[in-house]
Structure 1
Amino acid sequence: MAEVEITLADGRRLGVREVDAGDMLDVIEAAGHAAGSDPWMHYALTICAVRSIDGVPVRLPASKDAMRDLARRLGGDALDRVAVELSQAARDEDLAVVKN
C-alpha cells in the first residue's frame, strides 16, 4: 500500500501506510510480551501505520509507552479512520489479485 493521506473531521491530515516487513520486526520488539496478543498487535499496527500528522513525519514508536502516547495523541476517532483505510486498501489489493 502506498502512503495515502486522510483528512479528519477536526482538520488534521494523517499520512497512512501499512507497516512493512522490516517495520513489523521493530513493532514486535517494541511490543515485548504484548506481541503474543492478537488484539493488542492489531491495534498497535493501526497506530504504527500513521506515518505523518499534518505533513510532519511520525517516527515508528520504539516502545509500548511510545505507542500509547501516539494513540492518545491521535485519539479513537482518528484510529478508527486509519483502520477503515487499511481495511479498504486490503480489500482493493485482494480485488486486484482476483482480477488477474
Structure 2
Amino acid sequence: MRSRYTAYVLGLEDYLLQTWHPDFRPVSLDLAENEQIKWLGLRVNQTALTSENTASVDFIARYKIRGKAERMHELSQFELIENHWYYLTGEMK
C-alpha cells in the first residue's frame, strides 16, 4: 500500500500497473492529470487479513490541488499471489 502511494507521488505508472491485479488492471493510467496534485501524506488507519491470501487497507491520502487541501479516504482490497500483493479494488469512503 505505501509503495503504491509513493509511486503516485513519484509518477511511477509502470510500478502502479505492475502491482495492480491483472483482472482489474487498466491498460494505462493518465498520471499527467496528477501533475497539478501535490501529495501531502498518507495515513494507514487499519489493515486486516480478510483471508489467507486477501487483505484490506483503510487509508487517508492528503493532497493539495490548485491550492486547495483535499483528502481521499479509501478502503482498498489486495490479493497475495506468489508472494506479491496486488491491488484489486478500492471503495471511497
Higher relative contact order (CA 8 A, sep 6+): 1
- Greater helix content: 1
TM-score by length of 1: 0.27
TM-score by length of 2: 0.28
